[in-house]
A and B are shown apart, each in its own frame.
Chain A
Amino acid sequence: MSRSLRFLLANLLFFAIAIGCASQLQAQSKSASQRLVLTGSSTLAPLVGEIARRFESQHPGVRIDVQTGGSSRGIHDVRKGIVAIGMVSRALKPDEADLHAFVIAQDGVGIIVHADNPVRALSREQIADIYSGRITRWSGVGGTNTRITVVNKAEGRSTLELFLGYLQLRNSEIKPHVIIGDNAQGIKTVLGNPQAIGYVSIGAAEFEARRGARIRLLFLDGVEASVENVRLGIFPLARPLNLITSGEPQGLARQFIEFASSPQVQDLVRAQYFVPANTD
C-alpha cells in the first residue's frame, strides 16, 4: 500500500512542478518585448516557421507565432486586424486588391508518372480529359494499352485548388481512383503503380527523381517541369507564395517581411522545395 501511495505522491509532485514550470514559461513569453503572429496557408507555414526561427535567433526578445488554417484564414485574419501578417499560397484575387502582397517564394506543381510509362508530355486538354474520365487508357495519349489510375488530392488542399483552376474543372467532375494527402504519399503511390498519374510539388518530385526514385515529371504544354522553369515564370502550373498585410507594413512586421524576402533565407526556401523569389 505505502509503496503505491508513495508512487502517487511522487506523480502528484511531478505534475505540480510541471504546471508551475508551464505557467512560468507563459509569464516569460508575455514579458518578451515584441510578438508577431502569422496565420494562413499550410503550404507556407513550415517555411515561414523556419524563417521565423532564424529571425528570432537574430533578434533576441522577439517571439514569432506561426499558425495554419489555410490561405483564406490568413486573408480573413489580416482584414479583421487579428494578425499583422497573413500567409497566402496563391495570387491575390481582384476582390482582394485592398491587401498588400509580398512574394517570398514560387511553387510549381508538376504532373508525374512512373518512369516505365513511355508518355513524356501532355497538354492541358489531355490532362483534363484524363482527370474527368473521358480518356481512361494510356493508349489514348500515346502510351501503352493499360488503364489509367487517376491520383487526386484531398479536398481543401491548395495544390488541388491550383490544379483545378488550371484545368478549369470542378472537383466533383474529377473521377479519381486514389485520393492522397501529402506529396510523399503521392510519389509513393505513383512509384507503386506504373499506370498512375498524379501531381505534386515540382521541387519534391525533382528531389526524389534525382535520388533515383523511378518517377518522371511530364512536359506540360511543351514546357519542361523544372524548378528552373518555375523560377523563369514560364511553367504554366505555378503560384506565388505571399506574405500579406493590410496597408503598408510597419515596424516588426516590415522587418520580418524584408528578412523573409532577403537572400538570407534562400537556403530555407530551397530546403522546402520552393523557388526563392529574388535570386538575382
Chain B
Amino acid sequence: MFRLILTDKLLIGILRVGAMLAALVVLLILIFLLHESWPVLSSLPITRFINDVSWHPLENTYNLMPMLSGTVWTSSGALLLAIPLSLASALFIVFYAPLHLATAYKRLIELLSGIPSVVFGFWGLTTLVPLINQWNPPGASLLAGILVLTMMILPTVTLTSYTALAAVPDELLRNAAALGLSRWGMIKGVALPAAKTGITTGIILAAARALGETMAVLMVAGNVVQYPETLFDPVRTLAANIALETAYAMGDHRAVLFVSGLLLMLLIMALSGLVELLEKQRHA
C-alpha cells in the first residue's frame, strides 16, 4: 500500500513536469516567433501588413491579408464539406450499418487518416488539378485546396464523432427506444446532444489541422497572393507562404515570414479561444 502511494506521488510529479514542459514549449514558440519577427515589427507600422499594395517582400510590400483570407477560405470550405460527410459516416457506422460492414467501413476511414499529407498533395497535383484545369483553368485553385483538405480532415472528424457517439450510454438509447422514439428521433433527440462535446472537439482538431496544413495545399492551391473571386482562382495560405519562401529568405524578408507565422499562430489561438468561450456559455 505504502509503495503504491509512493509510486503514485512520483508519477504525479513526473506527469506534472511533463505537462508543464509541454505548455512551456508553446510559450517558447510564441517567444521565438516574436523574437525573430521583431526587426520588422519594431521598424514597420503594423498597418503595413494590412494596407500594403501586395506581398512582394523583395520590393518592400508586405500585405498579409490576402494570405489570411486564403487560409480562412480553404479551411472553412473544407470544414463545410467535411462536417456533414463525417457526421453521416459516423452515424452510419454506429446506428445503421450491419456489424461487418461497419467494421470494414471504419477500417477504411482509419486507413485514410494514415495517409501522409504529401501523398494527398501529389495526387492533387497530378490528378485533381489537371481535372479541374479541363473544366476551368488554371486548375490549381481554391477549389483544389478545399477538396484536398476535405479528404485530409474527413477521417479526423469521422473517427472522433464515432468515438463520441459510441460512448453514449446504452441506457439512454434504450430509454429513448422504450419511449417509442423512432431511430432518427433517438439520434436527433438523444445521441447527438449527448455526444455533442466530443463531436465539437473533433471539429476543432480538424479545423486546426486545416489551418496549419502546408505541403498538400502548397502543391494544389496555386499560391498566387490575391483575394479569390471564384472557387477557380488560385490562393496562397499563410502556411504555404512560409514553406515556399523561407529557404531563400534573408534579412527583412525572413523576418516578415516569421510575422506570417505569428499571424497563423494568433489565428489558431483565436480559434481555441472561441471554443473556450462557447463551452463557457453552454455551461453557464
- Asked whether, in the complex, the Cβ of A177 is within 8 Å of the Cβ of B138, the reply is yes
Q: Give the dominant DSSP class at A's interface.
A: mixed
Is B139 part of the binding interface, using a Cβ–Cβ cutoff of 8 Å? yes
What 1/0 flags go to B30-73 for Cβ under 8 Å of A?
00000000000000000000000111111101000000000000
Task: Chain B residues near A1: list those with CB within 8 A.
Answer: 4, 7-8, 11
Is A29 part of the binding interface, using a Cβ–Cβ cutoff of 8 Å? no
- Asked whether, in the complex, the Cβ of B57 is within 8 Å of the Cβ of A155, the reply is yes
- Asked whether, in the complex, the Cβ of A177 is within 8 Å of the Cβ of B224, the reply is yes
Task: Chain B residues near A178: list those with CB within 8 A.
Answer: 138, 140, 222-224, 234
- Asked whether, in the complex, the Cβ of B56 is within 8 Å of the Cβ of A172, the reply is yes
Task: Chain B residues near A158: list those with CB within 8 A.
Answer: 248
Task: Say which residue of B8, B14, B253 sits within 8 Å of A156 (CB atoms).
Answer: B253
Interface size class of A (residues with CB under 8 A): 35 or more
Task: Say which residue of A8, A72, A170, A181 sits within 8 Å of B244 (CB atoms).
Answer: A181
What 1/0 flags go to A7-27 for Cβ under 8 Å of B?
010000000000000000000
What 1/0 flags go to B231-266 for Cβ under 8 Å of A?
000101000000111011110010000000000000
Task: Chain B residues near A193: list those with CB within 8 A.
Answer: 129-130, 133, 137-139
Task: Chain A residues near B61: list those with CB within 8 A.
Answer: 172
Task: Chain A residues near B10: list those with CB within 8 A.
Answer: 5
- Asked whether, in the complex, the Cβ of A179 is within 8 Å of the Cβ of B244, the reply is yes
Is A73 part of the binding interface, using a Cβ–Cβ cutoff of 8 Å? yes
Task: Chain A residues near B125: list those with CB within 8 A.
Answer: 185, 188-189, 192
CB distance from A224 to the nearest CB of B (A): 28
Select from chain A the residue with minimum beta-carbon distance to B251: A72
Is B197 part of the binding interface, using a Cβ–Cβ cutoff of 8 Å? no
- Asked whether, in the complex, the Cβ of A155 is within 8 Å of the Cβ of B58, the reply is yes
Is B159 part of the binding interface, using a Cβ–Cβ cutoff of 8 Å? no
Report the separation of the CA atoms of residues A42 and B248 in the bound assembly, to the nearest whole angstrom: 7
Report the separation of the CA atoms of residues A181 and B138 in the bound assembly, to the nearest whole angstrom: 17
What 1/0 flags go to A145-168 for Cβ under 8 Å of B?
001010000111110000000000
Report the separation of the CA atoms of residues A191 and B10 in the bound assembly, to the nearest whole angstrom: 60
Is B219 part of the binding interface, using a Cβ–Cβ cutoff of 8 Å? yes
Interface residues of A in 179-196 (CB under 8 A from B): 179-181, 185, 188-189, 191-193, 195-196
Is B175 part of the binding interface, using a Cβ–Cβ cutoff of 8 Å? no
Contact A42-B247, Cβ < 8 Å, known A155-B57, A172-B59, A179-B236:
yes
Is A246 part of the binding interface, using a Cβ–Cβ cutoff of 8 Å? no
CB distance from B110 to the nearest CB of A (A): 26
CB distance from A146 to the nearest CB of B (A): 8
Contact A157-B222, Cβ < 8 Å, known A185-B125, A192-B139, A196-B138:
no
Report the separation of the CA atoms of residues A68 and B250 in the bound assembly, to the nearest whole angstrom: 11
Report the separation of the CA atoms of residues A2 and B129 in the bound assembly, to the nearest whole angstrom: 54
- Asked whether, in the complex, the Cβ of B137 is within 8 Å of the Cβ of A154, the reply is no
Task: Chain A residues near B248: list those with CB within 8 A.
Answer: 42, 70, 154-158
Task: Chain A residues near B55: list those with CB within 8 A.
Answer: 155
- Asked whether, in the complex, the Cβ of B7 is within 8 Å of the Cβ of A5, the reply is yes
Is A229 part of the binding interface, using a Cβ–Cβ cutoff of 8 Å? no
What 1/0 flags go to B132-176 for Cβ under 8 Å of A?
010001111000000000000000000000000000000000000
- Asked whether, in the complex, the Cβ of B224 is within 8 Å of the Cβ of A171, the reply is no
Report the separation of the CA atoms of residues A42 and B246 in the bound assembly, to the nearest whole angstrom: 11
- Asked whether, in the complex, the Cβ of B250 is within 8 Å of the Cβ of A73, the reply is yes
Contact A5-B244, Cβ < 8 Å, known A70-B250, A155-B58, A192-B125:
no
Select from chain A the residue with minimum beta-carbon distance to B18: A8
Is B126 part of the binding interface, using a Cβ–Cβ cutoff of 8 Å? yes
Is A49 part of the binding interface, using a Cβ–Cβ cutoff of 8 Å? no
Report the separation of the CA atoms of residues A145 and B8 in the bound assembly, to the nearest whole angstrom: 76
Is A69 part of the binding interface, using a Cβ–Cβ cutoff of 8 Å? yes
Is B218 part of the binding interface, using a Cβ–Cβ cutoff of 8 Å? yes
Is A236 part of the binding interface, using a Cβ–Cβ cutoff of 8 Å? no
- Asked whether, in the complex, the Cβ of B139 is within 8 Å of the Cβ of A185, the reply is no
Select from chain A the residue with minimum beta-carbon distance to B57: A155
Is A263 part of the binding interface, using a Cβ–Cβ cutoff of 8 Å? no
- Given A178-B138, A196-B138, 19 more pairs with CB closer than 8 A: A1-B4, A1-B7, A1-B11, A2-B7, A5-B7, A70-B249, A147-B137, A155-B56, A155-B57, A156-B248, A156-B249, A157-B248, A170-B59, A171-B59, A172-B53, A178-B223, A181-B218, A188-B126, A189-B125
The contact sample of 16 A-B pairs, CB cut-off 8 A, is: A1-B7, A5-B11, A68-B247, A72-B250, A149-B133, A154-B223, A155-B57, A155-B245, A156-B245, A157-B248, A171-B56, A177-B222, A177-B234, A179-B222, A189-B140, A193-B129
- In the complex, the 9 A-B pairs of residues with the closest C-beta atoms, listed nearest first: A156-B248, A192-B130, A179-B223, A154-B244, A149-B138, A177-B138, A1-B7, A178-B222, A178-B140
Residues of B within 8 A of A (CB): 4, 7-8, 10-11, 14, 53-59, 61, 125-126, 129-130, 133, 137-140, 218-219, 222-224, 234, 236, 243-245, 247-250, 253
